C-alpha cells in the first residue's frame, strides 16, 4: 500500500471543515454515460464526503421544499424536541403560506418533534412557519439563523428568504451546497430518524382537525433498496427537486437532483446515481481512531500521541485495492494539562493528490503538569488561602487601633 505521512507544525491555521472535492479515480465506468435528466445533480459518499458524480452542481437554482432540511437542522440545533409549541395566527396567512399544508389551527399545541415530522414527512408549509416563529421569535429572525448556518458551513451558492421553500426572488441553493447541508443535518440522529419514517400518527389537540396521520412523500422509501431519506420538493419555478439517501452494507450515499423534468424522472435520476455509487465504489479504512498519526514531544520530555477523532475512510473504485493516500497532520500549540480526547490539531486527508477531508486530531494519552508547575500552583494557592485568612484579621487589628487612638485624642469628657 502506497501511503505517506507529512507532519506540519504551525502556530495558526484556518481550515474549512465543510470543503469537499470531487473524487478523481478511474471507476471502470464512464460517469458521462449516466442518463441523468435533471439540470443539476450530485452524488456524495457521506462517510468520506467525496463527490462521486456531479453535473452543474454549483448552479444556483430554486430548490422548493428541500429548503426544509436546513429549517429542521437549525430548529434542532436551537430547540428542544419535547418543547410544546402553541400555533399562532401566522399559519392562516394564505397569501404567504399555501401549497402542502396540515391545516394547523391557532391555539393547537404540538411538540417540536411532531411539527418537524409534519414538515419533513408531509412537507407541510404551515408547520415550517410555526417552527420558525417558535424558534426564532419571528419568521424573519429564523431565516437569518438559516443564512448564518449556511455561512458557518462555508456555502457560497445558498441564500434563504423563507423556511419552507415557496418561490421567492433571492431564495436559492445548489446541488453541491444541498449535499453539504444534508450531510451536516444527518449527523443529528433524531432528524435522520424522521426522514426515513414512512408513516406516523399526527395527533391533533383540537377535536375534528385533519389530517391526523402523516405519510412520507418520498416514494423511494418504498421503492429503492436501502433508502433512508431525505426530502422531496416541487414548485413551478424549481421543478422537481429531491435529496435522496440510501444505505447498503454500512455505506450511505446521498444524491441531489435539482430542476427535475418530472417526478418520475427525478426519482429515476436519483436511483441511477445511487446504483452507480454502490456498484462502482467502495470505502477503505486507512486510519482507525485508535491509531496514532503523530506524536509531539514537549520541552520537558513529555510525549503526547495524536490520533483522528473518528475512523478515516476514503472512497475508491471497486477494482482499486491499495489507495494512494497522504495525511498531513497539523498539531496546534499544546498547553498542559492534556486530557484524553482533547482536540490538539487537524489532519488533512489526500487521495491521489486530491484533498478529500479534514479530521480533528485528539490526544490519545493524558499529560499532567510538571512537578515544578505543581509546586508553583501549590505555593500560589497557599498564598491565596493565607491572604484570605490573614487579611481580614490584619484589617480588623488596624481598625481597632485607629478607634483607640481617636478615644485617646479626644481625652476625658
CA distance 394 to 403: 14
Distinct helix (H) and strand (E) counts, the chain = 9, 17
Alpha helices in 197-346 (DSSP H): 220-223, 263-280
Question: What integer pLDDT is reported at residue 27 of this predicted model?
Answer: 41
Name the catalytic one among 68, 133, 149, 196.
68
Question: What integer pLDDT is reported at residue 392 of this predicted model?
Answer: 67
Whether residue 39 has a cis bond before it, omega within 30° of 0: no
> Which whole-number Å values give the CA distances from 1 to 211, 288, 324, 348, in the listed order?
58, 16, 7, 19
Name the catalytic one among 65, 174, 184, 245.
65
**Is 102 within 8 Å of 126 (Cβ atoms)?**
yes
- Whether 57 is a known active-site residue: answer no
State the 10-residue block means of pLDDT for the chain, 413 residues long: 42 37 45 90 97 97 98 98 97 94 95 98 98 98 98 97 98 98 98 98 85 95 98 98 97 98 97 97 95 90 93 93 92 92 95 93 90 54 61 66 58 48
- Whether 123 is a known active-site residue: answer yes
- Whether 259 is a known active-site residue: answer no
Cell of residue 358, nine digits:
479534514
DSSP codes, 285-311 = EEE-TTS--EEEE-TTS-EEEEEESS-
Name the catalytic one among 27, 40, 48, 123.
123
Question: What integer pLDDT is reported at residue 301 of this predicted model?
Answer: 86
**Is 260 within 8 Å of 38 (Cβ atoms)?**
yes
Compute φ and ψ for 203, nearest 5 degrees.
Answer: -65, 130
Amino acid at each position: 500500500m502506497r501511503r505517506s505521512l507529512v507532519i506540519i507544525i504551525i502556530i495558526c491555521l484556518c481550515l474549512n471543515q465543510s470543503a469537499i472535492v470531487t473524487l478523481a479515480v478511474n471507476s471502470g465506468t464512464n460517469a458521462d454515460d449516466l442518463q441523468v435528466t435533471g439540470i443539476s445533480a450530485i452524488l456524495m459518499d457521506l462517510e468520506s464526503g467525496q463527490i462521486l458524480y456531479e453535473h452543474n452542481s454549483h448552479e444556483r437554482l430554486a430548490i422548493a421544499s428541500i429548503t426544509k432540511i436546513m429549517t429542521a437542522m437549525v430548529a434542532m440545533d436551537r430547540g428542544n424536541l419535547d418543547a410544546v409549541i402553541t400555533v399562532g395566527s401566522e399559519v392562516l396567512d394564505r397569501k404567504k403560506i399555501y401549497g402542502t399544508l396540515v391545516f394547523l389551527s391557532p391555539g393547537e399545541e404540538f411538540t417540536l418533534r411532531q411539527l418537524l415530522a409534519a414538515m419533513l414527512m408531509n412537507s407541510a408549509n404551515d408547520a415550517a412557519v410555526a417552527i420558525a416563529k417558535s424558534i426564532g421569535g419571528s419568521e424573519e429572525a429564523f431565516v437569518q439563523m438559516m443564512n448564518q448556518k449556511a455561512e458557518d458551513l462555508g456555502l457560497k451558492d445558498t441564500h434563504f428568504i423563507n423556511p419552507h421553500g415557496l418561490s421567492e426572488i433571492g431564495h436559492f441553493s445548489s446541488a453541491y451546497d444541498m449535499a453539504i447541508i444534508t450531510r451536516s443535518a444527518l449527523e443529528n440522529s433524531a432528524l435522520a430518524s424522521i426522514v426515513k419514517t414512512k408513516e406516523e400518527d399526527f395527533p391533533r389537540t383540537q377535536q375534528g382537525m385533519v389530517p391526523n396521520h402523516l405519510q412520507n412523500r418520498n416514494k423511494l422509501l418504498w421503492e429503492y433498496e436501502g433508502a433512508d431519506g431525505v426530502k422531496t420538493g416541487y414548485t413551478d419555478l424549481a421543478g422537481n427537486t429531491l435529496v435522496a439517501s440510501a444505505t447498503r452494507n454500512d455505506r450511505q450515499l446521498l444524491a441531489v437532483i435539482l430542476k427535475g423534468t418530472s417526478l418520475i424522472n427525478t426519482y429515476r435520476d436519483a436511483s441511477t446515481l445511487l446504483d452507480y455509487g454502490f456498484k462502482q465504489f467502495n470505502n477503505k479504512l486507512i486510519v482507525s481512531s485508535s491509531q496514532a498519526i503523530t506524536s509531539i514531544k514537549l520541552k520537558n520530555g513529555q510525549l503526547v500521541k495524536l490520533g483522528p477523532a473518528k475512523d478515516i475512510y476514503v472512497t475508491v473504485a471497486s477494482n482499486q485495492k491499495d489507495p494512494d493516500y497522504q495525511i498531513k497532520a497539523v498539531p496546534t500549540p499544546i498547553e498542559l494539562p492534556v486530557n484524553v480526547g482533547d482536540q490538539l490539531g487537524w489532519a488533512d486527508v489526500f487521495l491521489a493528490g486530491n484533498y478529500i477531508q479534514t479530521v480533528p486530531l485528539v490526544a490519545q494519552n493524558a499529560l499532567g503538569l510538571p512537578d515544578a508547575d505543581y509546586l508553583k500552583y501549590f505555593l500560589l494557592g497557599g498564598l491565596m488561602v493565607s491572604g484570605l485568612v490573614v487579611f481580614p484579621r490584619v484589617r480588623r487589628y488596624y481598625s481597632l487601633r485607629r478607634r483607640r487612638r481617636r478615644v485617646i485624642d479626644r481625652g476625658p469628657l
